[in-house]
Amino acid sequence: MAVENRDPAVRLDRGFWLVTLLLAVLAAIGIVYWALLAPITSWLPEAVDKAQQIDSLSRFLMASGTALFIFVAGYLLYFSIAFRRRASDGPDAIGVQIHDNNKLELWWTIVPAVFVVVMAIFSIQIWAGIQLGDNNGMVVEALGHQWFYSFRYPDVHGEITNEMHLPLGTPVTLHVTSYDVIHSFWVPDMRIKADMVPGIINTLRFTPTKVGRYQIVCTEFCGTLHGEMNKQYLVIDTPQKYKAWYQGWQQKNAHASDAIPTQSTGAISLSGGNVNAGKMLFTQKCSACHALAPFSQKVVGPGLKGVLSDPAHPNLVDGAKATPENVAKILQKGYKGDMGQMPNQTANGLTDKDIADLVAFLKSTK
């Protein structure tokens, strides 16, 4: 390029250095504020261990971001004022004809690079702490519905649909998935979220560190009332309080899986089951846990393609022969085996007719 005209030497005057000093001070203030003073926890409590870790990263990001912005914006402003065209210079006055300054350009490649590297390292550390933990915590499941959440606990039959309780200090492994469309499980006070994707199970690992009631918010658009999907709470209890709550639900739902709701006593008539209606129901209510695939294709429960005809699996999970009646029984009473909990009729919200339809549909899948 234009090497013909040699660049004049760059001379930075006192004004420049004064401004630099000023910006440095401002940047320092910004850094100190974000690193130490900013009362983050008074804006949003830190409900779990992960929250502290993420906040420490956020403080660092905010601090460096603020500093960088102050310098860029500061020089922008200063140069704009200092080098504006004054009345004194004529219309065709021109600026200093500088094209390049390799040293300078090298520097402003290195400095951001350093920032990026540090940010990356810090982020990766925190990331490892969040993503690489093992699933040995107490297992709880959260399921997204249009437009509410339901929760499942070990040894509590059926699903709890109002609040989610967790004991202080116990590591938790939270599996989330969805019954219908994509939702998301976010507790702002936990700082972490996971999307609830039908057919996929995402996992959050954390340890509650602060007693309180925390709002659960859905952040993935899920239809008409997506905005209403913030009405449920995560309650972090002292272990004793939690135990009481937990046992309460155990009793409350103890019969859910055995005592069949009033409308259906004993065997369900499977006559007039409608395949298509069953198909609909299946996609709505079952597909979150069951694939239409051979038994081996487990999602939460086994694949259900041809449960009634698969020679490889003459018996159902409960050992009974794979007959329409026995499938109906599982749908009616639910079943808990080593794969987990198959919800019962009430938990799945099925009428007898629904069950007849579903069985008819399952029969039709070969």
Partner 1 sequence: MAVASSLLSTPVTHGHDDADQLYIETRELRVQGFLLFMVSDLVLFSSFIFAYLYLRNTGQGWPPPGAPHVDIWLAAMNSVVLFGSGATMHFALENWKHRNFMKFASWMVATIVLGLLFLGGQGVEYVSLYTKDHASWGGSGIFGASFFTLTGMHGFHVFVGVIYLTVLLLQATAGTYTFSKYTGLTLGTLYWHFVDVIWVVLFSIFYLL
Partner 2 sequence: MAVAAVHAGGIADHIHPEPEGFIRKYVFSIDHKIIGIQYLVTTFMFLVLGGMLAELIRVQLMNANGGFMTPDTYNEVYSIHGSTMVWLVIIPMLTGAFGNFVFPLQIGARDVAFPWLNMLSFWLFPPAGLMLYGSFLMGAPAAGWTEYPPMSLQGQAGTSMWCAAIFLVGVSSTLTGINFLVTLLKMRAPGMTYTRMPLFCWAQFVTAPLLMIATTALGAALAALFVERQFGVPFFDPTKGGSPLLWQHMFWFYSHPAVYIMILPVFGIVSEVFPTFARKPIFGYKMIAFSSCSIAILGFMVWAHHMFTSGMAPFLQLPFMVLTMLIAIPTGIKIFSWVATLWGGKIHFSTAMLFAVGFIATFTLGGITGVFLAAVPFDLHAHGTYFIVAHLHYVLVGGSLMGVFSGLYFWFPKMTGRLMSEKLGKWTFWLFFIGFNGTFLPMHNMGLLGMPRRVAEYDPQFQTLNRIASSFSFLMTFAILLIIINALYSIKNGKKCGHNPWNARTLEWQIPSPPHYYNFKHIPSVFANPYDFNEPLPYRGLEDELTDAPPPVPAAAH
Binding residues among 238-297 for partner 1 as defined by CB under 8 A: 291-294, 297
Q: Does 126 bind partner 1 (CB under 8 A)?
A: no
Binding partner of 303, given ligand HEA, partner 2, partner 1, none, CB within 5-8 angstroms per partner class: partner 1
Pick the closest to residue 362 from 325, 337, 334 (CA basis): 325
Q: Does 180 bind ligand CUA (CB under 6 A)?
A: no
The CA distances from residue 77 to 19, 61, 69, 97, 112, in Å, are 10, 24, 12, 21, 21
- CA 325/CA 267 separation, integer angstroms: 8
Contact status, residue 333 vs residue 352, Cβ threshold 8 Å: no
- CA 303/CA 289 separation, integer angstroms: 9
Q: How far is the CB of 230 from partner 2 (least distance, A)?
A: 6
94 phi and psi, to 5 degrees?
-120, 160
Q: Does 218 bind ligand CUA (CB under 6 A)?
A: yes
Q: Which of 15, 112, 199, 239 binds partner 1 (CB under 8 A)?
A: 199
DSSP 299-331: SSS---TTTTT-TT--B-TTSSB--HHHHHHHH
Contact status, residue 146 vs residue 218, Cβ threshold 8 Å: no
**Where do contacts with ligand HEA occur on this chain (CB under 6 A)?**
68, 72, 112, 115-116
Looking at beta carbons only, is 55 or 159 nearer to ligand HEC?
A: 159
Looking at beta carbons only, is 172 or 292 nearer to partner 1?
A: 292
Tokens of 299: 């999602």
Looking at beta carbons only, is 62 or 308 nearer to ligand HEA?
A: 62
- CA 193/CA 149 separation, integer angstroms: 14
Looking at beta carbons only, is 254 or 291 nearer to partner 1?
A: 291
**Where do contacts with ligand HEC occur on this chain (CB under 6 A)?**
285-286, 288-290, 295, 300-302, 304, 307, 313, 316-317, 327, 330-331, 335, 337-343, 348, 350, 358
DSSP 366: -
**One-letter amino acid for residue 117 of the chain:** V
- CA 340/CA 157 separation, integer angstroms: 11
Q: How far is the CB of 226 from partner 2 (least distance, A)?
A: 6
Q: How far is the CB of 354 from ligand HEC (least distance, A)?
A: 7
Q: How far is the CB of 164 from partner 2 (least distance, A)?
A: 17
Binding partner of 287, given partner 1, ligand HEC, partner 2, none, CB within 5-8 angstroms per partner class: partner 2
Would you tell me which residues interact with partner 1 (CB under 8 A)? Answer: 199, 291-294, 297, 303, 305
Would you tell me which residues interact with ligand CUA (CB under 6 A)? Answer: 144, 147, 183, 218, 220-222, 226, 229
